[in-house]
Amino acid sequence: MKEQSSAFFTRISQLLSRGIGKQQMSMFYGQGGRSLQEEAQVRAYLRESQRQQAFRKLPVEQVVYTSLDTETTGFHPEHGDEIISIGAVHMKGPILTDEIFSTFIRPSCSIPFSITELTGISEQDVAEAPVLADIMGELNGFLHDTVVIGWYIGHEVKFFNYFLWRKYRARFTYRVLEMKRMVECVYPELSACTGLEEVLDAMNIRVEKRHEALADAQMTAQLWGLIQNEIRHRGIYTMEELYTFLAEGGR
């Protein structure tokens, strides 16, 4: 039974990938050919397929983005490192808004001295801060219906995934764009830059309060705004064209 169900949904995925909708599916699966549960899941597949197609056709400049940054006690959540600060700002296309999300997070571990030196965040700063679980609902509301960007967004995704899976058996499911990859594709001459600060300097973006989550998110947003202007001049207008450009390494 499990193998039959798997084969059924594999076939549905193949049909969806070929642009076959619900009406056409009835030609493959007649009346009564599926259980009510399967019918519901097919409808969910179709809705998601339509949503994905609509998103791919959106102009890059009409998408709402969230530039997201975190400060953490280290690089490895699986070894006990945790988030200690979150900063985020909304963008409408290339334009930064004044809609921000910013908070310290109280970790269950101590903050290494090297992290305090780097970020300026001390044990005193987080002593009365909320724990991550207490702000996830608000953060999800802030991220809802946006594309999440970050300099190296994989770092944030890794920490959120680790927390969400252990706490809720859930995943970080938002669409993301990594600005490091974007810079490598759009400005290959900057590939030698070792980090965000060097790229900001090269792009004449004023560097302020480096390694403060909200400030880093805002500077990354400025970078994405400049990149959007550049790719528009190169004839990249839709999200589909953008993803194709990235998949081909900027060629």
The structural domains of the chain, ordered by start, are 2-56 (no CATH), 62-247 (3.30.420.10)
Q: In which residue are the tokens 């700063």 written?
A: 125
Q: Region 171-190: what's the mean pLDDT?
A: 95
In which band, very low, low, confident or very high, does the pLDDT at 65 lie, cut at 50, 70 and 90? Answer: very high
User: What does the pLDDT look like over 198-222, one tens digit per residue?
Assistant: 999 999 999 988 889 999 999 999 9
What's the distance, CA 147 to chain centroid? 6
pTM assigned to the model? 0.80
pLDDT at 119 exceeding the cut of 70: yes
Give the pLDDT mean for 158-164: 98
Scanning the chain, the segments in alpha helix (DSSP H) are 2-17, 22-28, 36-56, 113-119, 123-126, 132-143, 153-168, 179-186, 196-202, 213-233, 239-247
More confident residue, 157 or 51: 157
Could you tell me the two tokens for 62?
Answer: 């009409």
Detail the DSSP E strand segments found in the chain: 64-72, 83-92, 95-104, 147-150, 176-178
Residue 164 and residue 171 in contact, taking contact as beta carbons nearer than 8 Å: yes
List CB contacts of 139: < 8 A, sequence separation 6 or more.
86, 88, 101
What is the length of the chain? 251
Is the confidence at residue 102, as pLDDT, over 80? Answer: yes
Q: Which two tokens stand for residue 85?
A: 């600060």
Whole-angstrom Cα distance, residue 212 to residue 208? 9
On average, the pLDDT of the chain sits at 88
| Cβ contact 85:119 at 8 Å | yes
Task: Provide the β-strand partners of residue 221.
Answer: none
Question: Is a pLDDT exceeding 70 seen at residue 101?
Answer: yes
The single-letter code of the amino acid at 11 is R
What is the rounded distance in angstroms from the CA atom of residue 144 to the CA atom of residue 175?
Answer: 10
Identify the three-state secondary structure at position 91. Answer: strand
Using alpha carbons only, give the angle 208, 179, 83 rounded to the nearest 5 degrees: 65
- pLDDT bucket at 123, cuts 50 / 70 / 90: very high
Among 26-40, 83-97, 149-163, the minimum mean pLDDT is found in 26-40
CB-facing half-sphere around the CA of 55: CA atoms within 13 A: 13
